[in-house]
Amino acid sequence: MASGGVVLQARARPGTTAQHAVDELRRALIEGRLAPGERVRQEEIAASLGISVAPVREALAILEQEGQVTYRARRGYFVTELDVADLREIYELRAILEERAARHALPLVDEEAMDRILLAAKDCADAVENEDVAAELEANRRFHLALLDSPSQTHALRLVRLLWDSTETYRAMYYNAADARRAAVDAHDRIVAAVRAADPDLLVKELDRHRGEALTRLEAVLSGSGAE
């Protein structure tokens, strides 16, 4: 961890104190204030948020289940580090699950669902325009999950969310590149066109293309050749 420690903001706390800690830790991960391999110092986090250590510990247990932090015996929690093999496995599993979910969800896309998809795509594009990486990541996640949402996909979506969250820190790293942000907006436009066409094969093709481009960029980040 950097010598100055990580300072989280004690924002207004909707919901539980533990959920507040989860939200702020996620923000620190996305914004790069907690980087892969860094130790998460629970006492410092608690002091920054103005809460006790117990809800921070609760929050870290939730993030551990999502794969975003890793517990090491007698050493504490660390931000999870991934290698290229981990990343490829995660993206291969996502491809299988997301194709299944997309094919089930597409026939159920009604006007309300389309509005959610379009709003998320617009929010993502606006965040790119404003160079707000945290807002883009939130809108990007909302966009993709809205595409896959259907009542019959409870277990598939739970696994997709788990796999998605496990790479969010790395996704934030490559979204620091302006060309990556623009490429994501273009990909979303193609995906929306496939949804409008009600074409499941085209939708899966565009999702695979978008995911493949992201994987290539993430592999570059992990190899040290893609960061800007």
Instruction: In whole angstroms, give the CA distance from residue 135 to residue 151.
Output: 27
Query: Which CATH number applies to 17-79?
Result: 1.10.10.10
**DSSP track, 124-165:** HHHHHHTT-HHHHHHHHHHHHHHHH--GGGHHHHHHHHHHHH
- Output the pTM of the full model: 0.80
Instruction: In whole angstroms, give the CA distance from residue 112 to residue 118.
Output: 10
Q: Does domain 84-223 have CATH number 1.20.1250.20?
A: no
pLDDT, tens digit (0-9, with 9 covering 90-100), for 145-192: 999 999 889 999 999 999 998 888 888 777 778 888 899 999 999 999
Q: Tell me, what's the pLDDT at 140? A: 93
Domain boundaries, the chain: 17-79, 84-223
